[in-house]
Structure 1
Amino acid sequence: MKTRTPLFLLFTLFSIVAGTLHLSAQYKQTTVNRTTLVRDQGNILPLQRLDRLKIAVVTPVKGTYTPFIEQLQKYAEVRVFDFNKYAENTKYFNTIIVAGIEKDLRSDLISLLQQSAVNGKQVILCQFRESKSLGNPWNTPTYQSAFTELVSPDFAPISQRNAAMSIFGGLALTEGNLKTEQTRIQYTAGENSGLDISTMTRKIDAIANEAISNRATPGLVVMALKSGQVIFEKAYGSHTYENKQATTIDDIFDLASISKIAGTTPVVMTLQEQGIISLDSTIGHYLGQAKTTNKADITTRSVLLHEAGFTPFIPFYRNLKSGDLLSYEDTEHQVKVADNAFLKNNYYRDVMWPEMLSSAVKPVGNYVYSDISMYVMKEIAEHETSTRMEEFVQQFLYKPIGMKTAGYNPRTRFDKSRIVPTQNDTSFRKVLLQGYVHDEGAAMAGGVAGHAGLFATANDLAIYAQLLLNRGEYGGVRYFKPETVDLFTSNQSQSSRRGLGFDRADPDLKKAYPSKLANSSVYGHTGYTGTCIWIDPKDQLVYIFLSNRVHPQVTGKLYELNIRSRIQDVIYETINEAK
């Protein structure tokens, strides 16, 4: 195993001294939360590992607790029931959240919840007061020890939302004797943040509408967080220029190269900190197929920095032979690359991967952005974990922190209508792409590649970004060591601005990348489909922009009009004006 050179150690030390490594999260709660935690059976609040929870929400009256339920759904998958057939409906859930006002929480319901507690289920009762005195059957000694109980001063929508956020740690509980801390994103639309949200919104609206009217993209979603608080979240336009379906904040987008930092890189990060992968070990060390190639002695560090000398891009789809791609599925063509488009089985294994291994390599050390880099890192990760990357990242990260939509091949998990279409592919797949990855190589690899293939909502990306701002911790659980996040997201190259996997703000201020107001702590990535995510530890800011600018055909207008950067400029200007 190779050792790091003294020069690199000096460079890393300089980065730390210069302050380019990241500050810890600085949650700032500006919302007054009147929810009170009366008792916390088992010390379960805020809820933590969401992958271990199966949550049922039970309300005495259907359709009455919509703000409460919608807020819960921002954090986790929940199923909603009333008390009809309570035992049968909640049998397979281990966490029961009950919401009600005094008159709805009848005494005959107590035994049902008591039985759930006897069965080892976590029961969380949220009471919304209609009067100053509670005086209801839930406050008897018999049942006080069985439930975790929250009390809200009224039934208003804001109180319902605050109670829901309190359960997951989106809001700290500060009233009464039992207190908690904020551990997750809070959805309070910049309330009491000191920011001029209305002016910022008008400016962003104008830029977004300019993009749509100039056909830079048919629709987009913008999201921004400051100090753990969502200060902006809005959807614009439609899925297509036919305006048949409006874009919503819950839509799922093809993230393109954001997959590099939100899919492959976190897998590499956790393997590196566990000592499974070393940044100074070589491709040949991990991949037997590479031992006799020109890539055998290239380190994974060089690969992650895009300094391995790889070919930037190989258009695999142009080399397809007659019979490789069919419009129907048969026993030899089961790799679905789009609707009515099926690739020959094992095409990636037998054709694409060998071609990558045998491709030319230029001298190591110079920055050349290459998709092959993340194909390689995916292969290394899968060989070391013996697990498909899409499964591994779901289990160790996405599900535990509440990224509900993030993943590959979304058509296997979500209704087509939730997924924003991308290009009308006229050269390869001959169909409108909706829920199938836009990148041809990733599609031919079965929809899962190191450089592309990930789909998600803006909210999922916001959760991941806040985890990074927290330097590896989210929801009260640590997923990465702080030094791991610092290492990968800080500048690690002497020839480019790049981190390990992550892109960073350009030090040449004239380039204004990603924003003319971005500082040297900013890291993130852009995506070819018209996406970006930028994380700013210094200002505790997250900026997310999702669009389908490649619909119906690829256009450069999003770049020409500088839409993404200008919206980010507006957010920075708003923050700076409030300082």
Structure 2
Amino acid sequence: KQLSRYTSLARFSLRANQPEGVNQRLRDSLSAYKRIIVAVSEQRLASYQSFFAKFVPESPVIYLFFTPGKMMLQIQRAVAHASAVVLGHSYNSDVQRQVADVLFARASADGQLSASLGELFPTGAGVTITPKTPLHFVPEEYGLSSVHLKRIDSIALDGVRQGAYPGCQVVVLKNGHIMFDKAFGTYTGKGSPRVESTSIYDLASLSKTTGTLLAIMKLYDKGRFNLTDKISDHLPFLQRTDKKDITIQEILYHQSGLPSWIPFYQEAIDKDSYDGRLFSARKDAHHPLRLGTTSWANPKFKFKSDYVSSVKTGDYIVQICDSLWLNRSFRKVIEEKIAEAPLKQKRYVYSDVGFILLGMLVEQLAGMPMEVYLQREFYEPMGLEHTGYLPLRRFAKSEIVPSNKDLFLRKEILQGFVHDEASAFFGGLAGNAGLFSTARDVARVYQMLLNGGEIDGQRYLSKETCQLFTTETSKISRRGLGFDKPDADDPKKGNCAPAAPAEVYGHTGFTGTCAWVDPLNELVYVFLSNRIYPDVTNRKLNQLHIRERIQGAIYDAMKKK
């Protein structure tokens, strides 16, 4: 009766001493079902042994014993093949209801055996499950091959072995259900903590679509702006500049003419504190630190005392790492540098600066900091416990995976402080980067978008807004409204596997992250890593095409119709 509240079921009775012909017909009938539950309420099972001797179906079988545990030894061979066993001890109706609730993730089970049950289960055996325990699904029932999905393990571990990253998380959802959810490797290499599913990563530019863009979509839903609005109408500091006519849509498409990035932090460095130039195209005595393919830096500089302090004091309240505090006035410097930066022609150039402006736009239109708005409108009601900006305010350092050894600018291991320098000098709250999360939480955000703005019966965005932002594509590039997409003309140029259809949308991040939604196949794929630990110049993740190969394995796992 309790089970039928959760699912439609067919009921069969097994009688004592049934003839073999009847037993076989029952076994044949049961073979048509995807799940089989055997509820055992009798203590003497000798007269049923002939049925169970040949009962090893391909479908998962769950045995429920409403009897003392040792009774299961009478049908030991069948129980050994079970996918799960629940020991209820008693036929009491309350116990029956509890067991039914446990099976459908509505109740908890945390018992452990006080004595062993033959060779079936040792003393202390017992799995703890609660309504919060992640649900597992059989991929084959959703058109995916478990065998092909196992290839993800070898690709992810190959990345660890070849030094593409110390560790990573991978989550795959199909039709809203978890098909794959695993963590691989360690925080920083040998001897460091193992990555768990709850370990928190710096999302880098994946923040753009998992944070800033959500807030933009919400405000668009509320009619606070039009895509054709000039951003200077909402951000007055741009009004008397060459950026006064840039539209919000142009910024979302990355074709506003804004520069790709601006090194704001250089304004905080004292130019008289070091010899020669700060950067060089080659390594020499003054420039021992490699920052890029042809970029070497001089780490022997000092910050201007007007802007940076080693202690929190007065107006120095913006923390950029463990040992440095920025003057709140630096926000004005960032605005001035954006206003001064020369505007180029309106072609496709991926721009962090554009998304920094979108973050400012959210603050302006929401009337509160963007992180507060996102927490209130999305992360908290969606139950995303591990998602947010400035994670050290809520989590121990040990729960956050270090992103990088910053030997140049902040001169420390970045763990819980955003790696991206522009966001760091914005207090970790800029529109281009700064969000921290887990692959599980990120997957829920993209599942909500795939569902047209709704998840678990609660609506966060209108269907129309989700449709617009996830399907519109620029006429001059592969970019959508804030989202990245596969490159239809040249798949090698995009960030997706060649098998990904044109309708896919998502984003990647510099720290080695990505999230992709495939609305045609109802797929969500998330990969998080810290590929720039310890060194930003590590390009093995890209060279080995790890993210794309994992996505390819997901498409290979989809059974051909």
Question: What is the TM-score of this pair, normalised by structure 2?
Answer: 0.71
C-alpha distance after superposition, 1:396-431 (max 9, x if no partner): 111111111111000001111110001100111000
Deviation at 1:186, TM superposition (A): 7.1
Cα distance in structure 1, aligned partners of 2:267 and 2:94: 75
Does structure 2 retain, via aligned residues, the 8 Å contact 1:190–1:230? Answer: no
Q: 1:185 to 1:534 in 2, by over 3 A?
A: farther
C-alpha distance after superposition, 1:4-55 (max 9, x if no partner): xxxxxxxxxxxxxxxxxxxxxxxxxxxxx947369xxxxxxxxxxxxxxxxx
Q: Do residues 548 (structure 1) and 507 (structure 2) align? A: no
In structure 2, the residue matched to 1:403 is: 384
C-alpha distance after superposition, 1:171-202 (max 9, x if no partner): xxxxxxxxxxxxx9972143552656542344
In structure 2, the residue matched to 1:232 is: 180
Cα distance in structure 1, aligned partners of 2:258 and 2:487: 22
In structure 2, the residue matched to 1:564 is: 547
In structure 1, the residue matched to 2:499 is: 517
| Structure-to-structure mapping, 1:128-143, within 5 angstroms | 131-134=90-93
In structure 2, the residue matched to 1:536 is: 518
Deviation at 1:506, TM superposition (A): 1.4
Q: Do residues 383 (structure 1) and 364 (structure 2) align? A: yes
What is the DSSP-based 3-state SS (H/G/I as helix, E as strand, rest coil) of the residue aligned with 2:160? Answer: helix
| Structure-to-structure mapping, 1:14-413, within 5 angstroms | 34=3, 36=5, 131-134=90-93, 151-153=97-99, 159=103, 161=105, 163=107, 187-190=135-138, 193=141, 198-320=146-268, 321=270, 322-323=304-305, 324-348=307-331, 350-364=332-346, 366-413=347-394
Does structure 2 retain, via aligned residues, the 8 Å contact 1:317–1:440? Answer: yes
Cα distance in structure 1, aligned partners of 2:386 and 2:483: 22
In structure 2, the residue matched to 1:475 is: 456
Cα distance in structure 1, aligned partners of 2:6 and 2:420: 49
Deviation at 1:339, TM superposition (A): 1.1
Does structure 2 retain, via aligned residues, the 8 Å contact 1:255–1:453? Answer: yes
What is the DSSP-based 3-state SS (H/G/I as helix, E as strand, rest coil) of the residue aligned with 1:247? Answer: coil
> Which ranges in structure 2 are unaligned for 5 or more consecutive residues?
8-64, 68-85, 109-131, 271-303
In structure 1, the residue matched to 2:400 is: 419
Deviant stretches of 4+, over 6 Å: none
What is the DSSP-based 3-state SS (H/G/I as helix, E as strand, rest coil) of the residue aligned with 1:459? Answer: helix
Cα distance in structure 2, aligned partners of 1:163 and 1:493: 49
Deviation at 1:135, TM superposition (A): 5.9
Cα distance in structure 2, aligned partners of 1:232 and 1:341: 40
Which amino acid counterpart does residue 551 of structure 1 have in structure 2? Answer: Y
Cα distance in structure 2, aligned partners of 1:510 and 1:240: 32
Cα distance in structure 2, aligned partners of 1:213 and 1:254: 22
What is the DSSP-based 3-state SS (H/G/I as helix, E as strand, rest coil) of the residue aligned with 1:567? Answer: helix
Q: 1:133 to 1:206 in 2, by over 3 A?
A: same
In structure 1, the residue matched to 2:51 is: none
What is the DSSP-based 3-state SS (H/G/I as helix, E as strand, rest coil) of the residue aligned with 1:504? Answer: coil
In structure 2, the residue matched to 1:7 is: none
Which amino acid counterpart does residue 429 of structure 2 have in structure 1? Answer: V
What is the DSSP-based 3-state SS (H/G/I as helix, E as strand, rest coil) of the residue aligned with 2:533? Answer: coil
Which amino acid counterpart does residue 523 of structure 2 have in structure 1? Answer: L
Greater shift after overlay, 398-407 or 536-545?
398-407
Does structure 1 retain, via aligned residues, the 8 Å contact 2:149–2:557? Answer: no
Does structure 2 retain, via aligned residues, the 8 Å contact 1:129–1:155? Answer: no
Which amino acid counterpart does residue 196 of structure 2 have in structure 1? Answer: T
Does structure 1 retain, via aligned residues, the 8 Å contact 2:401–2:415? Answer: yes
Which amino acid counterpart does residue 452 of structure 2 have in structure 1? Answer: R
Does structure 2 retain, via aligned residues, the 8 Å contact 1:284–1:297? Answer: yes
Q: How many pairs were matched up?
A: 426
Q: 1:516 to 1:576 in 2, by over 3 A?
A: farther
Question: What is the TM-score of this pair, normalised by structure 1?
Answer: 0.69
Does structure 1 retain, via aligned residues, the 8 Å contact 2:198–2:386? Answer: no
Does structure 1 retain, via aligned residues, the 8 Å contact 2:142–2:174? Answer: no
Cα distance in structure 1, aligned partners of 2:444 and 2:391: 19
C-alpha distance after superposition, 1:353-407 (max 9, x if no partner): 211122111123x111100111111111211221110000110111111111111
Cα distance in structure 1, aligned partners of 2:159 and 2:147: 19
Q: 1:133 to 1:305 in 2, by over 3 A?
A: same
Does structure 1 retain, via aligned residues, the 8 Å contact 2:6–2:104? Answer: no
> Which ranges in structure 1 are unaligned for 5 or more consecutive residues?
1-32, 39-100, 104-126, 137-149, 165-183
Does structure 2 retain, via aligned residues, the 8 Å contact 1:35–1:151? Answer: no
Does structure 2 retain, via aligned residues, the 8 Å contact 1:190–1:232? Answer: no
Q: Do residues 489 (structure 1) and 489 (structure 2) align? A: no
Cα distance in structure 1, aligned partners of 2:356 and 2:456: 31
Does structure 1 retain, via aligned residues, the 8 Å contact 2:146–2:557? Answer: no
C-alpha distance after superposition, 1:95-135 (max 9, x if no partner): xxxxxx999xxxxxxxxxxxxxxxxxxxxxxx996555516
Cα distance in structure 1, aligned partners of 2:363 and 2:66: 54
Deviation at 1:503, TM superposition (A): 0.8
Cα distance in structure 2, aligned partners of 1:192 and 1:282: 50
Structure with the greater alpha carbon radius of gyration: 2
Does structure 1 retain, via aligned residues, the 8 Å contact 2:504–2:516? Answer: yes
